[in-house]
Structure 1
Amino acid sequence: MKRVTMADVAKLANVSKSTVSQYLNKRYDYMSEETKKRIAKAIEELGYQPNIIARSLKQKSTATIGVIVFNVLHMLTTQVLRAIEDVCQERDFHVIVCNTDDDPDKEKKYIEMLRAKQVDGLIVFPTGRNLKLYERMVEEKFPLVFVDRMVPNTPVDAILLDNHKASKLAVDHLVEHGYERIGMVTPPIVSHVIPRLERIEGFKHALVEKGLPVVEEYIVGMEIPYMKEGLEKLFSSECPPQALFAINDLTLMEILNFVKENNIKIPDDLALISIDDVSFANIYTPSLTTIAQPTFEMGRKAAERLFMKIDQRNEDRHQILRFSPTLIKRESVKSRI
């Protein structure tokens, strides 16, 4: 079957090939509505599909970006992705999404694959363990933006939550309601995951500000599959915490499973606050007090910063942009005063 060409569209619409090209590239400045309608009708009748590869070579752009996430199951990830896609739709760009499971080897392979496909830029939730690769992209001035994490001493724009403030909101709210023994549940404490370290630092600092001791035994830092064991050890102690602060949505799920299996009543036996305003927070019984991240604003800003770099409107200095969290008060914290 003969491939339909731009010349075929031009002939049927009774216009020049250059006019069809202008139409396809949405350059309508001197094009009448009648001409646009004829071209659209010809494209539909002929079933014309533009040659994307040839077009990319001519324009030196694939109109595609890559987004590399460390865990697509996080609520943060899915909402940020949605916002990025919205911005890309406005620009007629496509998005390729890759999930690394926080594995630096997978991250390296995905970066190399996407660059081989000549994507115009990358938005990366970095593992933090491919420094040479990040540095090479910076040296080559390849459009790159980090989300949720930054990599120290690497001059790349980063979009993050104000993690210290998020922890402070949780501690302050619990202390105001009379809680003194406050625990924190987090994935493993590792140096390359900056937000995790910031949330722990913010948690400890907020306790000290309120005149409360930092009890290291109350900080459960374990991989998700082993978190239940850590919680069992914590709550079998002589003086378990009165409240828990979950560092993210996946950690929250482990806590909820644990309290259900052990008949611990929220908030009567244990108060609970989590970062990430999960979709079921307001319908869970009791409803869950959470600290919301402005995920859609973060995703939109990440895409906007990337397109600034793609459009070669680079600023001399990179920016670390932090977004403010919001405490959403519900029923999983009750007053002990």
Structure 2
Amino acid sequence: MKKITMADVAQMANVSKSTVSQYLNHRYEYMSGDTRARIEEAIATLGYRPNILARSLKQKKTSTIGVIVANILHMFSTQVIRAIEDVCSSEDINVIVCNADDNPEKEKKYIEMLRAKQVDGLVVFPTGDNLELYESMKKEKYPLIFVDRMVKGMNIPSVLLDNETASEMAVDHLYSRGYRRIAMLTTPLDKGITPRVERVEGYKKALKERSLIVPPGYIKGVKLTDMQNVLEEMFNQPEVPEALFSGNDLTLLEILKFVKKKGMSIPRDLALISIDEVSFSEIYEPSLTIISQPAFEMGKYAAEKLLEQIRSNAKPDPMNVRFSPSIVVRKST
């Protein structure tokens, strides 16, 4: 079959090739409704498909960005991706999403793959271990935004939660309800992942300000697969926690499994509060008190700032933008 070209569309619609090009690039300012209708009908009749690769080479843009998340299972990650996609869809920008599983090798592979595909910029939830790769993109002035995490020594624009305030908010709420033995469980701290470390620091700071002592075994940062054993140890101590602060949504699920297994009653046997809203928090019985991240606002902001970088071709000013958490008080505390 003969390949249908822009010239064929122009001939059928009785317009110039440049008018068809303007139509395909959504530049309708000086185009009549009748002209648009003829071009649209010609495209449909001929089955014309624009050569995206050729257009990308000509414009030096692919109208595509990449998003590399650390762990797509987190509700926060899903919400941020949705917000990024909403912004990009409204701007006719395509989004490719990759899941790094907190694995530096996977992250490196995805960055190299997306750059080979000539995506116009990247939103990355960084593992923190690919310093040379981050640095090379920074030197090239390649459009790049970090979300949820900072990387020490890298002056790359980052969008984060005010994590210490989030933890202080959780402790303050539990304290105001009369709880004094407050424990915290989260995912591993050994890699220095920003939100995990900052949330633990905020928790410690809040307890200190209230003259509360943290007994040994009350702060744990471990793999999800080890959490059931850690919770067994935590609740076999002479003084068991009255309240438990979960560092994220996946940790919360492990805590709820443990509570069900042990036949514990929330909040009678254990008060529970978590960072990150989850889909079932209102319908769980009892409903769950949550420190909520403004994930959609954070994703929207990250997307808008990345698109600004892409359009201006200018090196961005290093910045760390912190979004404020909020508390949603329900029955688990």
* TM bracket (short chain): over 0.9
SS of match in other structure, 1:96:
strand
1:150 is aligned to: 150
Give matches, 1:124-135, under 5 Å.
124-135=124-135
Partner of 2:38: 38
1:110-161: CA deviation from partner (whole Å, max 9, x where unpaired) = 0001000000000000000101110010000000000000111101110100
- Counterpart in the other structure of 2:240: 240
Identify the residue that residue 330 of structure 2 maps to in structure 1.
Answer: 330
Structure 2 vs 1, CA of residues 324 and 216 (structure 1 numbering), >3 Å: closer, same or farther?
Answer: farther
- Give the % identical residues: 60
Structure 1 residue 186 corresponds to structure 2 residue 186: yes
Partner amino acid, structure 2, of 1:20:
V
SS of the aligned residue for 2:123 comes to strand
Q: 1:316 to 1:94 in 2, by over 3 A?
A: closer
Report deviation, 1:318: 1.2
SS of structure 2 residue aligned to 1:97? strand
**CA 1:312–1:139 in structure 2 vs 1: closer, same or farther (change >3 Å)?**
same
Contact persistence 2:309–2:316 (CA under 8 A): no
1:1-337 alignment to 2 at 5 Å? 1-312=1-312, 314=314, 317-333=317-333
Q: How many residues align?
A: 333
CA RMSD of aligned residues (A): 1.0
**In 1: Cα distance, 2:226 partner to 2:17 partner:** 63
Contact persistence 2:184–2:246 (CA under 8 A): yes
Q: CA deviation at 1:251?
A: 0.1
Q: Is the 8 A contact 2:292 2:326 kept in 1?
A: yes
Please say if residues 124 and 147 of structure 2, whose CA atoms lie closer than 8 Å, have aligned partners that are also in contact. Answer: yes
* Partner amino acid, structure 1, of 2:16: S
8 Å CA contact 1:127, 1:192 repeated in 2: no
Contact 2:66–2:119 under 8 Å retained in 1? yes
Q: Is the 1:217–1:234 Cα contact (8 Å) retained in structure 2?
A: yes
- Amino acid of the structure 1 residue aligned with 2:332: S
Contact 1:129–1:192 (CA<8 Å) still a contact in 2?
no
CA contact (8 A) 2:157 2:316 kept: no
Any idea what the Cα deviations from partners look like across 1:307-333, whole Å, max 9, x if unmatched? 111012646521100100110000001
Instruction: Tell me how far apart the structure 2 counterparts of residues 230 and 120 of structure 1 sit (CA, whole Å).
Output: 44
Counterpart contact for 2:141–2:315, Cα < 8 Å: no
Q: Distance in 2 between matches of 1:129 and 1:165?
A: 26
Q: Deviations over 1:245-304 (max 9, x none)?
A: 000000000000000001111000000000011110000000000011000000000001
1:217–1:102 CA distance, 2 compared to 1 (3 A): same
- Amino acid paired to 1:27: R
Name the aligned partner's letter for residue 279 of structure 1.
S
In 1, are the aligned partners of 2:141 and 2:314 still within 8 Å (CA)?
no
- Report the 3-state secondary structure (helix = DSSP H, G, I; strand = E; otherwise coil) of the residue aligned with 1:217: coil
Equivalent position amino acid for 2:180 in 1: E
Shift of 1:193: 0.4
Given that 1:220 and 1:231 are in contact with CA atoms closer than 8 Å, whether structure 2 keeps it comes out as no
Alpha-carbon distance between aligned partners in 1 of 2:271 and 2:300, rounded to the nearest angstrom: 34
CA drift at 1:2: 1.6
Q: Distance in 2 between matches of 1:176 and 1:105?
A: 45
1:66 and 1:121 in contact (8 A); partners too: yes
CA distance in 2, matches of 1:255, 1:132: 38
The TM-score, its normalising length taken from structure 2, stands at 0.98
Q: Which secondary structure state, in structure 2, belongs to the residue aligned with residue 311 of structure 1?
A: helix
Q: Report the Cα distance in structure 1 between the residues aligned to 2:172 and 2:315, rounded to whole angstroms.
A: 38
Amino acid at match of 2:35: T
In 2, Cα distance between the equivalents of 1:20 and 1:221?
Answer: 58
Q: 2:52 corresponds to which letter in structure 1?
A: I
